[in-house]
Amino acid sequence: MKQNENRAGHPGYPKHMGAGGQAEDIEIGRPSPERTRAANEVGSAIAHQLNGPLTALRLYVGEIRQNSGRFRESAEAEDHIQKMVEAAFQETERVCAMMRVIADSFEGPLYPETAAALGRDVISWWSRGGGTESGQANARGPAEAACFALLTPREREVLGHVSQGCSNKQGALRMQIGPRTFESHRARLMRKLGARNAADLVRLALGEVR
């Protein structure tokens, strides 16, 4: 399952959504080198920022843990541990201040209903980056499940037909609705799931069924 590797477009900013949602089929998703580089730079800048306070914090907390039993042993030990506690507190504050800056520096999605898709994207980015070694990198997380929960029964039906390879016309025929209606269901579906093209949609649908 390679669904995470082709996530180039920002799901919060669906492009080519006009004209019945046809144009996005042309776009085959590979992240552009520029986008990959930009993502790398942002990621490493954040990691670099956080690494300092986290290193200091880990040292202080480790020291506190190792010496916690000796708190009452001597005035010197007590003084040392108190200093470590205070320093750990300061470093925690430093991490939190950085987190606030980081959390505030990303633009929100254009459409409120794509917010969940954006969250899913962030989480899949994290698992792809090896943040967890659970071997579940491609399993759908809570945010992805939340995206699917947003779908109406009609949209789920459309998703089923699209994932079976139906064209708009075929799908419309099966559902006994007009092709334009089918298209608009499909466009909304893609926006909610953060899919950029039909192939993306199928990948997501297969993930759902699995």
Partner 1 sequence: MDPHLHDLKQMPYLVKAMTRILVIDDDANVARAIQAILARHQCDTAIASRAHAGIHAFQASQFDLVMVDLFMPGMNGLDTITRIRSESVVPIIAMSGFRLRNSLDADQDFLGMAKLRGATTLLRKPFSPPQLVAAIDRGFGLLSSAGGAMQ
Q: How far apart are CA 106 and CA 127, in angstroms?
A: 20
Q: Tell me the closest approach of the beta carbon of residue 62 to partner 1, in angstroms.
A: 4
Q: How far is the CB of 73 from partner 1 (least distance, A)?
A: 6
Question: Is residue 194 within 8 Å of 120, Cβ to Cβ?
Answer: yes
Task: Quote the CA–CA distance of 24 and 114 in Å, as a whole number.
Answer: 17
Least CB distance to partner 1 at residue 63 (A): 5
- Residue (62 or 165) nearer to partner 1, CB: 62
- The closest of 194, 43, 59, 52 to 119, measured between CA atoms, is 194
Nearest approach, Cβ of 65 to partner 1 (angstroms)?
A: 9
Instruction: Please identify, using beta-carbon distances, which residue of 68 and 152 lies nearer to partner 1.
Output: 68
CB closer to partner 1, 55 vs 152? 55
Backbone angles phi, psi at 73, to 5 degrees: -70, -45
Supply the minimum distance, in Å, between the C-beta of residue 64 and partner 1: 10
The residue among 49 and 163 lying less far from partner 1, judged by its C-beta, is: 49
Q: Burial-class residue 1 by CB neighbours within 10 Å (0-12, 13-18, 19+).
A: exposed
What does the DSSP assignment read for 113-157? GGHHHHHHHHHHHHHHTTS--SS-TTS--HHHHHHHHT--HHHHH
Residues that bind partner 1 (CB under 8 A): 44, 47-48, 51-60, 62-63, 66, 70, 73-74, 77, 80, 83-84, 87, 90-91, 94
Which lies closer to partner 1 via its Cβ, residue 30 or residue 70?
Answer: 70
